[in-house]
Structure 1
Amino acid sequence: LQLNFILVVKVFCSWFGNPPRVLKNDVTSVIAFKGETLTLPCMVMSGKPRPRTQWYKDEGVEIGKDWERFKQQRKGLRIRNVALEDRGVYRCEAVNGYGSEELEIMLLVKVISTQVKLNTTTDQIESGKQKKKPIFTEPIKMRRYNIAKPIGRDVRFSCKAKGKPPPQIQWFKDGNFTSSPDGNPRRQQWTLTLRQLKLTDSGRYTCRVWNKAGAISFNYSLRVEGLFQLNPVLVKPHPVNTTVRVGEKTSLQCRVRSNIVLTVKWMKQIEPSAQYQYSERLLNNSLRIDGNLYVILPTQETLYLPEERTYLNKHVIVRATEHDAGRYLCVAANTRGYRLRGAYLSVLPARAKKQDEPPIRSTAKLNTIPLALIIGLPAAA
């Protein structure tokens, strides 16, 4: 089947999630005075599903509800009655099922003094004005921060920066220090190059740049894949044509192979004369395929089967009616492409009950359940 590519992309894009994106600004350090109240900024701009935000201090100490003066808010971390022991590095981490992003802020706490040092020289004042915290000089090269590469390829991360005095840089992988590519730790390495990638190279790479005026950092996420699979693969023979009687339970199932995150949707073909049977919400969420109108059915949970390395999604009909009969499409999509396959559901009249039929004993009830439903397969036509 040939789909209108633009229309399909528009429909499918709403199904995929997105990793969190935290608003990056120039605030890498904050100076507070003892006793005041302030908020360390951390604004999560996007992410689907909605990211969960957690704050940490210094060496990964989680800030919880027992921190009485600290409150995690939508716009940042609010600290009441700032104390000297609050000094340190704070890390805001936004996480959802599609990734994570961090933001680090250094908090400096000062005590207001009523005494004025009279021996401060003009040179000392001027030298203080010359200090400038680091800034990244090539942000365009840092736009791609979520990177996927196949085994054997090369990748390069860039964090070029400037400041006064000239800043220093260190690279970390998953929080652990990584030596410079050429083995010389004294040489400034504004780029980190990894060659002949292996699966173990996957992870989070962080550059930390600092001088006496402040510090900044940036995260790259690298995913090394065994093979690039352009499209998901529908595992035959599913979905298969299925027959059910009115009032009985049945299901259509779809098995998919994909080495990246995917979404599975079910669609049902409807005739123009039968549109009155569907809600306005479903009709508004429809598209045409080869001249036929299909409605997108409500999403049901997709399960991952690690032993088979496949995804399983079922469209379950609890109590079949005549209106459930028709052609169904299973559509599997990932960020590389999509695949679809159809099957028909036939609905027969309800089985007639005999008047003199003896009651079924409790010990024989299991025999009345179709084997196909017990093992999760649709009943054969």
Structure 2
Amino acid sequence: MDFHEVEADGIYVVDLAPGARVKSANDKNQVGLLPALHISWPYDESLNLVGNQESPFPTLNKEPPFNAILDLDSPAVEDLFRHLRTSITIRLSSIPVTDLMGIPRQQIAILFSGGLDCTLIARIAHDVLPSQIEIDLLNVAFENPRVVEAANKSDSATSNSYSVYERCPDRLTGRSSYEELRKVCPSRKWRFVAINIPYSETFSHRSTVLTLLLPHNTEMDLSIGYALYFASRGCGLIATEHGSDVFFTTPAKVLLSGLGADELFGGYQRHATAYDRRGHSGLADELELDFKRIGKRNLGRDDRIISHWGKEVRYPYLDEDVVTWALKAPISHKCGFGQDRGAKPSLDPSKKILRLLAWQLGVRVAAGEKKRAIQFGARTARMETGKKKGTQLVSEEH
């Protein structure tokens, strides 16, 4: 059977009358759509959409940029902080933090690459949770044979299996941001869970990951799927007070993810490219496209992968109020493309509002981190030699 991932653009209806047979999701006679009507911008409160399927979100604000520079004093930074804090509070409030005897028990974990998005979530979560609650930071790194082989030719030190994982980009940024969180929030016990995955283990789970990915089946989906699959399992090494490492499995059943930040605030390289080539209108079109396809492109796939382990993932950046605020705000209030790069602090224009907020909250190393795709940070991309593209379909033969 040919399965399709439905869009998040309304309610799909299938005719289940006796004798009806659905041949294809593209068959307009058998699959109907009740479309979601997006509120136009500027928002007209007098608009009567009663009786229609109304989207909770407005259309993206594409107004031309203002001359104002996005900086630490911009009101938008405080506005976003208020919305994000509320979003994280809501997503943590239903998670038990004590056992039946009232003793604090850690049940909080974050999918943690050490990048801007997840570190900002961790920093705000610290403000929300009681200080005695520990927070697990799940950081995954893979043994990539292709990378190891190339590195061994130039540096024999990489033959050490430990350094294979410690040299992964996401492990380096993960430990850096972990140390920064410890300094900024010393009253919190942060637990850095180093999840090291040998290539043999990756390969042994390949068929399971491919099944969970369906109907997604590209090389990029597989690379991302591997990273989310093993990270959400939550099994790795933690350092003891004596400096030794012990095996540990997080007890958390709910994970926090930074998904949505790049789509809403212009974090991908293609956003910078769109601005360079077509200016503000090109950037606006790219942002609109990313938000519209996030359900089909990311959410279904990620949920199938993570729920395999009996875990639930929650997305603070995709809270309805956060999304609504981000869509209504002028693009120049969210990212700094085309603005003066000499402003202090000097931060990358991508997701600049998040970088400014992170700077205000003290995680300034994370505020300066460049965007890096999970498959490259964890080194799950191109594990075998050859010229495979991310859009190439996964071969069944392996």
- Structure with more of its chain in strand, by fraction: 1
TM range (shorter): under 0.3
Bigger RCO of structures 1 and 2 (CA < 8 A, at least 6 apart): 2
